[in-house]
Chain A
Amino acid sequence: MPFPTKARTLLAAVAMALATASGALADKIELLDAAPEDALVVNIDKMKYETPEITIKAGDAVTWTNQEVMPHNVHFLAGVVADEAVKGTMLKKDESWSARFNEPGTYDYHCTPHPFMRGKVVVE
């Protein structure tokens, strides 16, 4: 069979430019090991964040839960919640990822492998 090669696409190039390692976080966001009981839940299903924009108060936590088999995550670009990008772990079905937001602001995010999936957390 012919020797296949991976075609480097424009999408890959753009995403590569955006990809940065998550490092030390600023005070704006605090990653949580477990989902707090009082966290607002954003379900992920059918290739979208079911509540694409949520408004919370400073100090509230948000939990994203994947409802489908397709893996998804939550990815904040560099400069949104910290100097470096914050890329949440890929979530399989029924897995969750939580973060607490400590400062007012508007924080846009997307799914790393699915850049058309976008959401926003508004912290008052």
Chain B
Amino acid sequence: AGPADGSDPRAKWQPQDTDIQSCDYWRHCSIDGNICDCSGGSLTNCPPGTKLATASWVASCYNPTDGESYLIAYRDCCGANMPGRCPCLNTEGELPVYRPEFANDIIWCFGAEDDAMTYHCTISPIVGKAS
């Protein structure tokens, strides 16, 4: 139970490590938008035809399988309209825009090829172990 299944949107975050297309997948602890795996991409790759941004916001997400926390650098795939599949909004450790490194309301398309700034979806790659 938890926010992902809609039972109680205010319930404490309960991460799982089995379904990457579900909002409560542990790496999505601070995702805002759509999961790319649901629209032709994968957990760490953009869908064909979209442009991967270089900049990102980050969050420290807890992996329930190994009990460790990892820094996830959420990167937006840009240049196409929102797919409408697997929408998620999680805010573990999120901070306001004056702390942009942890702010997920921003469209993080900076650095995408062709200056694409239209948000499509978000990937959740690990960039390192969180301390």
A71–B89 CB distance below 8 A: no
B110–A112 CB distance below 8 A: yes
Min CB distance B76 to A, Å, is 8
User: 10 smallest A-B Cβ distances: which pairs?
Assistant: A69-B128, A4-B89, A113-B55, A7-B105, A69-B71, A12-B107, A1-B6, A112-B55, A90-B54, A12-B106
Q: Contacts A8-B107, A15-B110, A90-B55 hold; do A113 and B128 have CB atoms under 8 A apart?
A: no
B binding-site residues for A, Cβ under 8 Å: 3-4, 6, 9, 23, 32-33, 54-58, 71, 73, 82, 84, 87-89, 97, 100-101, 103, 105-111, 113-115, 117, 119, 127-131
User: Apart from A1-B3, A113-B100, what are 16 other A-B pairs with CB-CB below 8 Å?
Assistant: A1-B6, A3-B84, A3-B87, A6-B119, A9-B105, A11-B97, A16-B107, A21-B115, A69-B71, A69-B129, A69-B130, A70-B71, A71-B73, A73-B54, A73-B55, A93-B127
B128–A114 CB distance below 8 A: no
Chain A 75-117, CB within 8 Å of chain B: the 1/0 string?
0000000000001011011000000000000000000111100
A residues in contact with B23, CB < 8 Å: 1
Which of B9, B55, B88, B117 is the most central at the interface, judged by chain A CB atoms within 10 Å of its CB? B55
**Residue A55, interface by CB 8 Å:** no
Min CB distance B120 to A, Å, is 10
A binding-site residues for B, Cβ under 8 Å: 1-4, 6-12, 15-16, 19-21, 47, 69-71, 73, 87, 89-90, 92-93, 112-115
From B9, B82, B115, give the contact of A20 (CB < 8 A): B115
B residues in contact with A12, CB < 8 Å: 106-107
Min CB distance B125 to A, Å, is 10
